[in-house]
Amino acid sequence: MALSPGSASAIPDSPTRRRKSSFFTWAIQALPFLILGVGAIIGMAATTVTGQPKRFYWSVYTPLAAAISILEGCRLAKSAAEYSSVFITQLFQWLAVGAAMYLLMLSPVRGLMNDDAVGLTLLTFIAMSVFIAGIHMRAWRLLVMGAFLGATVYVISFVEAYAIVLMAIVLAVLCLLGLLFWAVRK
């Protein structure tokens, strides 16, 4: 590969170097969404283990989700007008979500719901907001993350509802595998 006049390096880019560079770029762009997904699972695990939704956790996680949505929209904006439109729209959307979450945590409705249901409701608010932000901004990453968070709500509620049945099935399978192993060894 010949050097161009403005080239900074005498060593040409190898395919391996380009692949590492593109993977690094992809990883940096995917990191906020990975944090969002893992954070949702951690928040629900903390709610399930302690038996209470953690106000501090959700009050940190919600602005984080809002910031990721706003930054993704600003990254996709093509003009200053789009940038400010995305910022204002998303700011008000996430303020409304925060207000709804705050009302849920303080109102008499909180007393009508068990702690697991409150945690799932908070995560549903965030999943819906991320998905709607993806629709408004035509941002496929937000659509995928909103769908993932929504699916997480469903999976967590299923596991919580059928935990004993799932544990019994796992125990039965382990017993059968143990018997099979014992019979084959004998």
- pLDDT over threshold 50, residue 21: yes
- What whole-number distance in Å separates Cα of residue 38 and Cα of residue 8? 39
Higher-confidence residue: 162 or 20? 162
Band the pLDDT of 95: cuts 50, 70, 90: very high
pTM (2 decimals)? 0.72
CB 32 within 8 A of CB 139: no
Rounded Cα distance between 52 and 46, Å, is 8
